[in-house]
Amino acid sequence: MSHPKYGRADHGVNPLITQRWSPYAYSDKPVAKDDLLALFEAARWAPSSYNEQPWVFFVATKDQPDEYARLLSCLVEGNQGWARQTPVLVLSCFHTTFARNGKPNPGAAYDLGLAAGNICLEATARGLQVHQMGGIVPDRAREVFQIPGTVQPCTAMAIGYAADAAGLPYQVQVQETKPRERKPLGLIVCSGEFGKAWA
């Protein structure tokens, strides 16, 4: 099955990688709890420094209107405008220190990213899509969810089934329908010195 947002890889990769994209338009179709549990199970098995698993996810679905409104309020205004249509919102956080010794964990944000990547691929395998957002209000999240100082609110995710972009504002429609692009490998894979392409 083809879709205008599916990418074209220059080298053979698992199709889930090129079929993953970040819609702004979502159907109001609920996401089954079993599917959501599978997404977080995928996150649970992501690699992490010293197997610390520093990620913490707050989840709210449309069938929990109060919880949903609280989580929505932690997004910046621009993200609230479109994200309020999605059936599932997630706030992603990480522990900033190692549980084993209390020392700073410099790789914690990286580890959260790996866990979020697993969520995206598992979602794609299930016909779902995930739109990740850096635009959150960390202080609001701390207040709403009583997040301790050693845990950093980092990003948010909208999860659901992609829908037609026709109802979106014009500029968002343009973004939603244009083909996805990626830099060539020669610009991102180096050898010997910065900027010297490996292959």
Which range is least confidently modeled, 21-25, 67-71, 115-119, 156-160? Answer: 21-25
Decide: helix, strand or coil at residue 196. strand
pLDDT in tens, 179-190: 888 999 989 999
Q: Please choose, from the candidates 160, 157, 108, 161, the residue with its C-alpha nearest in 3D space to the C-alpha of residue 133.
A: 157
| CA–CA dist 84, 96 (Å, integer) | 29
Q: What's the average model confidence in pLDDT over 148-164? A: 96
Q: Do 88 and 59 meet the contact criterion of CB atoms below 8 Å apart? A: yes
Q: What's the average model confidence in pLDDT over 163-189? A: 85
Q: What is the DSSP string of 61-99?
A: ETTSHHHHHHHHTTB-HHHHHHHTTSSEEEEEEEESB-T
Q: What's the average model confidence in pLDDT over 135-139? A: 98
Domains in the chain with CATH codes: 15-164 (3.40.109.10)
pLDDT in tens, 23-52: 999 999 999 999 999 999 999 999 999 999
